[in-house]
Amino acid sequence: MKLLVTGGAGYIGSVVALQLVEADHEVIVLDNLSKGHEAAVPEGVKLVRADLLDAGRLTEILADGYDGVLHFAALSLVGESVEQPGRYYRANLTGTLNLLEAMQSAEVPRLVFSSTAAVYGEPEETPIPEMAPTCPTSPYGGSKLAADHLIGFFARAHGLRATSLRYFNVAGASSSLGEDHEPETHLIPLVLGAALGERENVKIFGTDYPTPDGTPVRDYIHVEDLSRAHLLALDAADEANSGEHHVYNLGNGAGFSVREVIEEARRVTGCPIEAVEAPRRAGDPPTLVASSARIQDELGWVPEKPSLEAMISDAWDWMQRHPRGYEES
Ligand code: UFG
C-alpha cells in the first residue's frame, strides 16, 4: 500500500514507518520537524516537510493518491497543554480536521490514529477498558478525545475505515530508532539520563499517592509492540465495513510504580541512580493501567516484549549508542 505517516520523524511514528517499510509498503513521511528528527526517518522513505495547519498544502499532498494515513503528528506534553490549551486544540484537533478533509477530497480510505490513555482522565476502574468514561483532565487529553470523536463522525459520514489506538506509557527503542525529546519529560529516559551522568539525579514526583509504595503506577508498553498494533489495525481495515471507527487500548495490563522503574533501571544499567523525592506533578493520576483485551481478541495483538527489563534495556542500549540523541547520528 502507499501510506502517508504524519509525524513519522518522531519517536513512535518513525518506528511504525520502519515496520511498514519492512512489510513492503511504500511510505512517505509528513512532518514539520518541530519535534521530530530528519535522521529518524527510515532509509528509503521520502520526507515531506509540511504542517497540518497548512490545509491547502495538505490537500495538494494527499491529492497524489494514498491507500491510507497513519496519523501521529501532534503536541503531547500534558503540563504544557494546561498552560497553552489553544495551541494544543489547534495542533491536535484543527490539524486532524485539516487532514480528514484532505483525505476526504482525495478519497483516502484508511486511517490509523495515535490516541492516548489521557482521554480517560482519572479512571474509576482498573485495568481501563475502552468503554470506561472519557473524562480528560488536561487539554492534551481533551484535544485527542475531540479528534477521536471527529474521526468517528467523518468515518460515518464519508465511509472512512478508521482506528484509534489509545496508548499508555510507551518505552524502549527499536534498532537505530529511539526516544529523543526536547524537553524530555518522560520517566524512563530521565532515569537513564541520570545513569549516563547527564543529570545528577531523578526526581520522584509525589510519594503520597494511594498506591502500594506511594508513587504513581503506569502501564509501560514497548514501542515495537505498540508499532505492530498499527500494522494489524491497517490490515484489519480491509475486513472492516466502510464507515467503521474502532477504538483500542494498548498497554500490557501490568502496572509499575515510579520506584519500581528506578529500581529496574539500577539493575539493568548497574549504576546507582540517585532518586530525590519531590512534590507531585500537576495532573498526574495515581494509576493508569490498560485493559488490552479488545485488541488481543479482535486483532490478535500479543505483546512480544512485555517486561520492564526489555523496555529499559533497549532504551539503555540506544541511549548509550546515541548519547546526544539524533544530533550525533
Ligand atoms: N515522573 C517522575 N519523575 C520524572 C518524570 C516522571 O516521578 O522526572 C513520574 C510522573 O509523575 C508519572 C510517571 O513518572 O507518575 C510517568 O510519567 P511520564 O511523564 O513518563 O508519563 P505520563 O504517565 O505522565 O504520560 C504518558 C504520556 C502522555 C500520555 C499519558 C497517558 O507521555 O502523552 O502517558 O497516560 F498522555
Q: Does residue 143 have its Cβ closer than 6 Å to ligand 1?
A: no
pLDDT of the residue at 239? 87
Selecting among 11, 140, 167, 248, the annotated active-site residue is 140
- What does residue 210 show for φ and ψ, rounded to 5 degrees? -75, 65
Tell which wins on pLDDT, 124 or 106. 106
132 secondary structure, DSSP code: S
Helix (H) or strand (E) holding 29: strand 26-31
Tell which wins on pLDDT, 328 or 64. 64
Helix (H) or strand (E) holding 105: helix 95-106
Measured in angstroms, how far is the CA atom of residue 188 from the centroid of ligand 1?
A: 9
* Residue 73 burial (10 A CB sphere; 0-12, 13-18, 19+): buried
Q: Do the first three CATH levels of 2-168+221-250 and 187-218+253-328 match, i.e. the same topology?
A: no
Q: How far is CA 38 from CA 16, 35, 240, in A?
A: 15, 10, 34
Whether 89 is a known active-site residue: answer: no
For residue 302, pLDDT beyond 70: yes
pLDDT of the residue at 328? 53
Q: How far is CA 169 from CA 18, 76, 106, 116, in A?
A: 20, 12, 34, 9
Superfamily of domain 2-168+221-250: NAD(P)-binding Rossmann-like Domain (3.40.50.720)
pLDDT of the residue at 68? 98
The per-residue pLDDT of the chain, averaged, comes to: 96
Q: Average of pLDDT values for 296-306?
A: 97
- What is the percent of the chain where pLDDT is above 90? 93
Dump pLDDT digits (tens) for 68-108: 999 999 999 988 999 999 999 999 999 999 999 999 999 99
Q: Average of pLDDT values for 178-197?
A: 96
Band the pLDDT of 329: cuts 50, 70, 90: very low
pLDDT of the residue at 283? 77
Amino acid at 120: Y
What are the extents of the domains in the chain?
2-168+221-250, 187-218+253-328
Q: Average of pLDDT values for 280-287?
A: 87
Dig out the grid coordinates for 75 from the structure. Answer: 503536541
Superfamily of domain 187-218+253-328: UDP-galactose 4-epimerase, domain 1 (3.90.25.10)
Q: Does residue 122 have its Cβ closer than 6 Å to ligand 1?
A: no
Measured in angstroms, how far is the CA atom of residue 231 from the centroid of ligand 1?
A: 26
